Amino acid sequence: MLIESIPKSLAELYKSLLSELKPNWKVEIIIEDYNLYKLGFVDEIPCSLKLDVSEEEISELHDEIMNMEISVYLHEDLLYKNPLNMSEEEKRQYRELKKCEKEYDKYAPLEAISSYWLQ
């Protein structure tokens, strides 16, 4: 799979997140046209991100991120409850929910990879 014409910063972000979440995936950044950047036609160096993975693996990544989102927002009402009014069990669930929310927020940008694949 090749994701073309994305800014270098985005390609680096995707590669970094994938190296953490899917360390066995082969991900390569390919610089497209550095001269466009040097001449001032674009703000960032245009790149492509080459993923040596199957469509099934992309689909699994999408499902994994969706499951992270579901686990956070399934009980989001707890996030808005005043901690002073929580039971000990609710406080424990709240801490776990915040941990899940942090993980989802970190990996949520990878959802775009499945969007590129669907095009």
DSSP letter at 44? Answer: S
Strand partners, 28: 50
Tell me the per-residue pLDDT of 1-51, one tens digit each, with 9 for 90 and over. Answer: 888 889 999 999 999 999 999 999 999 999 888 888 788 888 888 999 999
Dig out the tokens for 83 from the structure: 């901690």
Tell me the per-residue pLDDT of 58-88, one tens digit each, with 9 for 90 and over. Answer: 999 999 999 999 988 888 888 778 878 888 9
One domain, residues 66 and 97: yes
Tokens 């969706």 correspond to 66
Give the number of domains in the chain.
2
Tell me the per-residue pLDDT of 91-118, one tens digit each, with 9 for 90 and over. Answer: 898 889 889 999 999 999 999 988 877 6
One domain, residues 28 and 60: no
Beta carbons within 8 Å of 55's beta carbon, 6+ residues apart: 1, 117
Q: What is the pTM of this model?
A: 0.83
One domain, residues 92 and 46: no
Domain-ending residue, one of 53, 77, 95: 53
Sign of CA dihedral 19, 59, 52, 112: negative
One domain, residues 109 and 91: yes
CA distance 115 to 119: 7
- Whole domain around residue 91: which residue ranges? 56-119
